[in-house]
Chain A
Amino acid sequence: MSNRELLQGRRSGKPAGMRIIDVDIHVNDPPQALVPYCDANWRESLAMAGQGRLGYVDIPGYAPGGLKPDPRMPGGHKRRSVNTKEEMREELDLLGIDEGVMLPDNLLNFASLSHAEYATAIGRAYNRWLAAEWVDAELGLYGAVLAAPQDPQDAVKEIERYAGTPGMIGVFLPTAGVYPLWGHRKYDPIMAAAEAARLPVIFHSVGFVGSAFPHNQEQFENHFGRWVLNHAFGMMANLSSLMHTGVPARFPKLRFAFTEAGIAWVPLMKWRMDRAYKELRKDVPTLKELPSVYMKEQMWFGTQPFEEPAIPAEYLETVRHTGEDNVIFCSDWPHHDFDHPSAVFSMPMAAEQRFKIMGENAVRLFDLPALARQIPVKTLEVA
């Protein structure tokens, strides 16, 4: 069953004139795809990783997925991947998505690679491959430069290398398993480089299990227990980390995007951090304002997985508390828990809110040109 067959004939119902920008789509990045782009000294190691078992975001020596001790359960749905730029464009057309920001599949686990020299070689290969084979601004296919937490100096060089490259519009900060968390001062050069390049940093976690907080989730006996927590806790932990060392205050022009954790965690963190600041401002003198002020000015939050409350008004309240100028549509296509855009834009919102969430907020986040490729409005039949 191809991705095309899964999407064909499904409803779009996209409102006329709506520009849909999707800040989280995934390219399939098996080791062998990157081999030709890898520095010679690590090419063979990468090729060897590609000869082993290629699990879903779980490849030894490439995307170590960590300890997942629970049994495989029958009755699941199949893994999906997108393997070429052409496939991606066609599938986004079928979904009604005009533009998308591409993030990896397997290399979502990048931060858990412990060998820094090897990891940075893979990171550089990924960036070359992404730029050469996927990024195409005219097709609305945007890339995010992978920044290796294992070697911030190398990450800086990569950001500088791709700054100004058409279609490279952000920096991907691998979030699952990162240690220390992204607010640590060792990453300041990465934040400075991204700020100087005017490239927003994008956090994206994954269902990694390992010793790095908050992914030390080995006690759960099934995927349900972990899935509920891993993305949201990854975002919460890194947001607290960024705030506790004053990253948004020290890099005031830097923009942050938090993806694949939905938005319901955002009001909780906003209120808790503001409350903490009132009592503990002495701990965080770098922050000149309440944390919520930095969140409003510099941070954006992806919709997926869309919370789907039974009462739509509850979602609209959550959008309001998160900030209707700060919520950005994400589909996570083609992953198992992706959201169809229509699930989000069919919420009973004012047209203005709908257009902001589905695209206009992302235009502001990435400073995208006003005129972009827009796919023809197709109202597919609902059969």
Chain B
Amino acid sequence: MSEAPGEAASTQAGYAGVGVAPKPPAGEHLVARTGDLKPGEHRLVRINNIELGLYNIAGNYYAVHNMCPHQFGPVCQGVIAAKSVADESTGWKTEWVKAGEVLVCPWHGMQFDILDGQSLSDKNLRLRTFPVRVADDEVWVLLKGRRTGAAA
């Protein structure tokens, strides 16, 4: 069962198409080299006061705020998992989808889709996501995105 790509994913694709900007836009920060993170790996990055998790999922990069909108736990310190689904298309049987794309908050176990920050259990909760741009071997994050806690 596939899902529509999230905003972070489409934004990233757009940025990737821009290529190397001569001068990075204001608020853009170099956070990694592409060789630093293999697919399936992630790292915590601190930019000024903002801590975020940078994830390489199947070669695409995603950045999410390390702040769970539930009780403000360090969500990026949680494990990465899959999503259990059961609906008409699966005959109401449990199947596992989005393996490697689900973040589990270590405080209370709330699960989020890393691709768009959406909570899997509460449609009103979302992780704040940040646009990511890859230029040559550089991974840049733009510190501008949705506010934590509010749905788009």
Contacts and interface: CB of A to CB of B under 8 A. Distances in A.
Interface of A: 1, 5-6, 9-11, 73-78, 310, 336-340, 342-343, 381-383
A96 to B, nearest CB: 13
Given A74-B82, A78-B79, A383-B51, A342 B107 contact: no
A311 B98 CA distance: 32
B90 interface: no
Contact of A339 (B71, B74, B83, B106): B71
Contacts of B124: 310
A75 B81 contact: yes
B50 interface: yes
Contacts, number: 61
A342 B67 CA distance: 14
Contacts of A1: 77, 106
Contact of A6 (B49, B50, B74): B74
A6 B72 contact: no
14 contacts: A5-B74, A6-B107, A9-B74, A75-B79, A75-B84, A75-B104, A75-B111, A77-B107, A78-B79, A336-B108, A338-B107, A339-B71, A340-B71, A340-B72
A10 B73 contact: yes
Contacts of A5: 74, 77
Interface residues of B, number: 26
B141 interface: no
Name the residue among A10, A73, A382 with the largest chain B CB count within 10 angstroms.
Answer: A10
A287 B77 CA distance: 53
B104 A77 contact: yes
Interface of B: 49-51, 66-67, 71-74, 77-79, 81-84, 96, 102, 104-109, 111, 124
Nearest to A339: B71
Contacts of B67: 382-383
Given A76-B109, A77-B107, A337-B108, A6 B77 contact: yes
Given A10-B73, A10-B74, A382-B72, A77 B105 contact: yes
Contacts of A6: 73-74, 77, 106-107
A77 B108 contact: yes
Given A6-B107, A383-B50, A383-B51, A77 B72 contact: no
Contacts of A10: 72-74
Contacts of B50: 383
B117 to A, nearest CB: 17
Contacts of B84: 73, 75
Contact of B106 (A73, A78, A342): A78
Contacts of B83: 75
B71 A77 contact: no
Contacts of A77: 78-79, 104-109
Contact of B104 (A76, A381, A383): A76
Given A6-B106, A9-B51, A75-B111, 9 more contacts: A1-B77, A11-B72, A75-B81, A78-B106, A336-B108, A342-B72, A343-B71, A381-B49, A383-B66
A11 to B, nearest CB: 6
A44 to B, nearest CB: 38
A358 to B, nearest CB: 16
6 smallest CB-CB distances across A and B, nearest first, come from: A75-B81, A77-B109, A383-B49, A343-B71, A340-B71, A77-B106
A54 to B, nearest CB: 21
A1 B79 CA distance: 11
A76 B79 CA distance: 8
A10 B74 CA distance: 8
Contact of B82 (A75, A382, A383): A75
A115 B72 CA distance: 44
Nearest to A305: B108
Which of A338, A381, A383 gathers the greatest number of chain B CB atoms within 10 Å?
A383
